[in-house]
Amino acid sequence: MNKTFNYRRRPTLNVSVGEIPLGSEYPVRVQSMTNTATDDVESSASQCQRIAYAGADYVRLTAQGVAQANSIGEISKVLRANGCNIPLIADIHFNRNAALAAAAVCEGVRINPGNFADPARTFKQLEYSNEEYEAELDRIREALLPFIAVCREHHTAVRLGVNHGSLSDRIMSRYGNTAEGMVESVMEYLRVFVAEGFLDVVISMKASNVVVMVEAVRRLVDAMDKEDMHFPLHLGVTEAGFGEDGRIKSAVGIGALMAEGLGDTIRVSLSEDPELEVPVARKLVDYIAAREGHELIEGDYSEGYNPLCPSRRESVPVAGLLGGTMPPVVIASYRPDEINSAPVPPDFYYSGDGMIDGMHRFLVPLGRWGGERNAYPLLTLGEWDRCPSTPLRFLQVPASTPADRLEFLRGRNDTVLVVTPVGVNIPGSQQALTHALTTLGIHCPVVMRNTYPDSSNEWLQVKAGSDLGAVLLNGRADGVWLEAPNIHSGLDVVRYAFAVLQAARQRISKTEFISCPGCGRTMFDLQSTVHLVQQATAHLSHLKIGVMGCIVNGPGEMADADYGYVGAAAGRISLYKGKQCVEMNIPEQEAIDRLVALIKQNGDWVEP
């Protein structure tokens, strides 16, 4: 029996991080990062303790220099004196001396291959001969050897943390700002660690673009497998944002990879207090882990499918409304008092009692359908032969339906399949059926109908984000139908469906905000600033806007953003148009007005 669509953890090495090891033999660990100034030992220790009490396994703190690295040692002493033994991980950018100091006092050190041995990127194109490039690799090895020696001496774990936004000019000149470039950036470092016999290494591949992040992790695993490497993975969507969008975006990216058995520690990065990240991550871990030992799902990928970088499943357009190359649709269950209130209305409503208003498109059960304008029948397999001819019909089947029972759909262009999941592995069951359909040459559009019993909005965000996100990122759906009868507001449910589509880059319905969670490098109140930027620009649904605490990842992670608001110094902001800094060091109190003026100046402003 093929296990393509079944959940199982990827086997990895075990890595010791203080007294809490990680790897495939252990539960998926959860972590967060402080946003206090690391020099403020008392405040940082207090926040570390709150993060630990929220349920995190590790805490990361920024160390811009040797002084901050030493401060982490003092923070550790305060925590241990208070009976809190959570391992501390130093976050290093640019400063090798800080990495050496941190390795002597922390349980773990994160270094960034984009700036540990290479200078800060300037987006300049560099030319290297093969010999010159090999010399660059020798330079990286020489830079790493002292660091490895200190880590070995103090039994300090290492995270090689690649960010899409901070690849070196050297890597980008050869590979572009791509997932392949991210992979090669970390593989150069891994080969040195392996050659030196130092294996307490964890790897992360992060991006604010979920599609890039997922592809980078998949390509990394493939590259490691080819070189017989089995290092554990840290998963996260960087600069995910805040509120429901940050939770859904994280669930889509992290959940899609965890559904494939990838990931040994995770962080949900939110522009909120760091202890609020932990319950979200815990929910995600618990939800995916519950699939362990589920009933096996038979099936294999259809011919031509590329699991590293999937393209959308081929489907025929139906009635000019869905399928083909059209953006995925959203179906919502009908709540009469809310039907005209959704900021972005669904494409179809479902009315179980057959009530329709003639103004919106409706699905109704076959027994209540009378051929009304803008109404389309929803039928079961047993009702197929009773349905009169119609240009658009919806056929609902469970994901366990053998594909050969649907062979009568081959060549039809009037039918949409609505697939309901079976068992606890929701995306696995739904994807297995779509691959079987493609193998049999059945190309009708597919809508995933997922119903959740939760009354908690956060649980729904996590579950729907991870399940529907996995299916969408793998190109297996032409629409989503999200139901949650116990959620008080149906408008919330519709909004979450659109947010999942946007996170998966399948359909843009509102302004996309790329905002970092903040850390000790942030020079302004990130949370309040994000809200102010959103208030000023949330109606610009055609734009992506970045709000970044500092320049470490800012310009790079905003590479596909239209405009950026980046901390430059205390009380000072720089504004970006794409990757280009157009206004530097302007007073913070003027920055939002200047951002709006910049958008207007470039012709991208529309009135609310």
How much is the average pLDDT of 277-287? 97
Task: Give the per-residue pLDDT at 241.
Answer: 75
Q: Percent of the chain scored above 90 by pLDDT?
A: 72
How much is the average pLDDT of 288-316? 95
Domains of the chain: 29-289 (3.20.20.20), 329-503 (3.20.20), 512-601 (3.30.413.10)
User: Is the confidence at residue 582, as pLDDT, over 60?
Assistant: yes
Tens digit of pLDDT for each residue in 421-469?
Answer: 999 999 999 999 999 999 999 999 999 999 999 999 999 999 999 999 9
Which ranges constitute the DSSP H helices of 155-298?
Answer: 169-175, 179-195, 210-226, 243-259, 277-289
User: Is the confidence at residue 1, as pLDDT, over 60?
Assistant: no
Tens digit of pLDDT for each residue in 535-569?
Answer: 888 888 788 888 877 666 556 556 678 888 888 77
Task: Give the per-residue pLDDT at 519.
Answer: 66
> Which of 85-89, 130-134, 242-246, 540-544 ranks highest by mean pLDDT?
85-89
The per-residue DSSP string of 348-377 comes to: EEE-TT----SSS-EEEEGGG----TTEEE
The per-residue DSSP string of 404-469 comes to: GGGGGGTT-SSEEEEEE--SS-HHHHHHHHHHHHHHTT----EEEEEE-----HHHHHHHHHHHHH
Task: Give the per-residue pLDDT at 242.
Answer: 75
Phi, psi (deg, nearest 5) at residue 309: -145, 75
Q: Which residues are CB-neighbours of 570 under 8 A, at least 6 positions away?
A: 523
Judged by average pLDDT, the poorest of 91-100, 211-220, 496-505, 515-524 is: 515-524
Cβ atoms of 361 and 349 within 8 Å: the answer is: yes
Q: How confident is the model at residue 343 (pLDDT cuts 50, 70, 90)?
A: confident
The span from the CA of 178 to the CA of 308, in Å, is 14
User: Is the confidence at residue 320, as pLDDT, over 90?
Assistant: yes
Tens digit of pLDDT for each residue in 20-40?
Answer: 999 999 999 999 999 999 999
* Among 480, 502, 210, residue whose Cα is nearest residue 328: 480
SS3 549: coil
Tens digit of pLDDT for each residue in 134-179?
Answer: 898 999 999 999 999 999 999 999 999 998 878 888 898 888 889 9
Average pLDDT score, the chain? 92
How much is the average pLDDT of 235-261? 92
Task: Give the per-residue pLDDT at 110.
Answer: 98
